[in-house]
Structure 1
Amino acid sequence: MNRTDALACHVRRLGLVEYEDGLEAQSLLATARKADLIPDQLLLLEHPHVVTIGRRTRYLSANVGDHLRVSPDVLARYDVEQYETDRGGAVTYHGPGQLVIYPILKLLGRRRDVHQYLRDLEEVIIRTLEDFGISAERIPGQTGTWVGGEKIASIGVHLSHWVTTHGVALNVNTDLRFFDLIVPCGLPDVRMTSMAKLLGAPVPMELVQERLLIHFQEVFDRHLVERPIEAESVQVLLRTPEGKYLLLKRTERDGGFWQPVTGLIEPGESPADAALREVREETGVNLEDVIPPDRPRLLPLPYVHAFAFSPADALPLFIREHSFLAALPTRPVIRINPLEHDAFRFEDATTALSLVRWKGNRRALILSERLEAAGDVHPANASQALHL
């Protein structure tokens, strides 16, 4: 990279990202940044419900359970996952309506100061909140940003060879009740707040992102360059009347793992058209022939997520995946494409969940089962039946 590139920072607005996919994306980008293969990166995203456990947690108490106010079974009932991470800080919660900011920066010169880096992150949040009429502050001895004694933004970072990962979680429209399930940041008496709570109404996430980018550029002296997601894809669950799902096994050359029908959206294609085409190409099944015209051939699941992918000997790229369900009237004859897959099987949801490799596939399977349990597969009712 030349000197101009070194001051650039690529911004990616990713939308919903599974937590484990977020970890993988940061790892791929940090590795490339250490090798100076890419400029600095800034990821803006939201996670599904998840509790993350930072390095300081076990320093405060060897028993992680001391930082949870409910049992793991209760967390599971609320669809809240748990992950131990290498970031600083204790336990926190991420979920829909919370803006998560992951800077992958190579700190140079005078910026090689961890404490100053934390203060700079706080400054970005303070300036952003000021644009919305919210007066935020620091509390001496505590990392994060506070409003009237309540915490609105949590910070936990990791540095390796002066390249940063993890970052900031700003409560924009967050459901604050989920913080009642944990001891946030290891502070038993802390109260959490959000922009929506303080302003009395939901706040447009895109507007918060816009203001935050302006202040990030100012505070960190970076030239921000918006980068689009490089590709879009589909995953299609084919479910039989017996409640079994079609799984395809990738060839060993392509990883040898099990997954539903998947594929990239071609230029000019809609996600639904791509889904119909991929089913034909990968299984030999034409859904327009198999499913009666009075029934939906595809049900769009309310689950669109992004993830990073690193082709062999290439730089990481991002893919946004759209999810669909096809409720088959009978079990069809499957003719796989031997160039892509070498086996197929129909399995119930429990077995399918144990076989598929990627979190996004598992999430779609769970949502499909909930939709079936709701007893209504009409597209107009899908969003009400399913919740992330």
Structure 2
Amino acid sequence: MSSAEARLYLCGQGVVWRDGARRGAAVAQGRVEFDLPWRWGTEDGAQQLEAVLDPILTSLVAAKVQVLLATDLVQWLALPWSPALVAARAARAQCRMRLLDLWGGARAASALCEPDETGFGRARSAACLELALCKLLIESCARHGKRLSALRPLAIDAWHAVRSQLDQAPHALAVVEPGVLSLFVWERRHPRFVATQPWQDDWQGPLELLWHRCRVRGLESLPLHVLSVPGVAVAPSGGGPGKRLRWPGADDLFAVPIRPGCWPEFSSEAPRVGGARALLLACGMAAAAWGGWAWWSANHEWAAARQALAQAQPQARARPVAAVGDDKPLRLRIDGVNRLIAQLNLPYAALMASLAPPQGLDVALREVTFRHGDGAGAIRLTVSSRSTHDMTAYYAHLLKQPQLRGVRLIKHELARGTTPPRLDFELEATWR
């Protein structure tokens, strides 16, 4: 531990603290317990914690503070193997989805989730901490001119400290802390949280119950080791399951060295962006800007196309010109112009809409012929259908159209040489 750093251990019973080493002076340390049973997440949990932390932080000389957390203050999750969860960001999103049922929407969305760095094809463990607890610790330190330099669970660092007492084979480790004991399984340097169990007067009974329950639920047969933190009464030798491990540094709780950069470590600060990441971030921002410009350009072209289409809609032409004089060639030309203008003034869009077969009918318009007269016109349709039902249904549809009068079926026959069979028919009507 650096001489400029103080260390705090936060558990459900209170806070154990030690100030940084001061030249020529004894190291100050102490323990402050909560007046009432404390549990984070309750209405007065934050107020209780601030009331305990304020006098401790006021008395500290060190400018930096390391905080060790009891295991039950961290939510441990197991993420099954999936190629989609290889990236840490996807794994954090999966953790927050799992936390919705445990913490609710707002607390889960802001949770600090740290998945471990496991190998390809293996399940991942994840440690999750409420952002509100992290911010409270950071703000409490800042109010007293301190900086929170590390925020980690004690159990993981304790395991790293006692690894020399263990063999390399997979094993189970029970960490006994004040008021709570936790069970982990360690395989190839890969920690996996199993369960936690509270205890009050004696932890041997709860440990036996927890170990038995986990074995019944399918936990593999592994050697069990038990590590109790200083301040917890050690069971007599041979009592209870598991082999007892020695805490490093005898009764010194803070003899466990902090392992910065190792999983899991919580921080509410945004991660620093290195050179390569900054380049990728700049490329991403440039791609987003280009995508925005492309969207604006496409939208502008679409609006221009709509305006051009609106201008291209058929508009009413001039009225037919009246015949002048008795000059026959001139009268024929005028009649031709009148017929052309009349044809241009036909309501083709509305007429074609009325001739379109309704949905659900297997009918196809093959040919439409118009003949224009004075004030009205004749129309002839050549149609094909798959059945007589579709033919009669289409005929009934035309009878309902207000633009058409005198709709009649003049011909129908079964087309030859077609597979499947096809029925061809012709209709005539007068339109206005």
- Report TM bin, short chain: under 0.3
TM-score normalised per structure 1: 0.24
TM-score normalised per structure 2: 0.22
Q: Which has the higher contact order (CA 8 A, sep 6+)?
A: 1
Q: Over alpha carbons, which structure has the higher Rg? A: 2
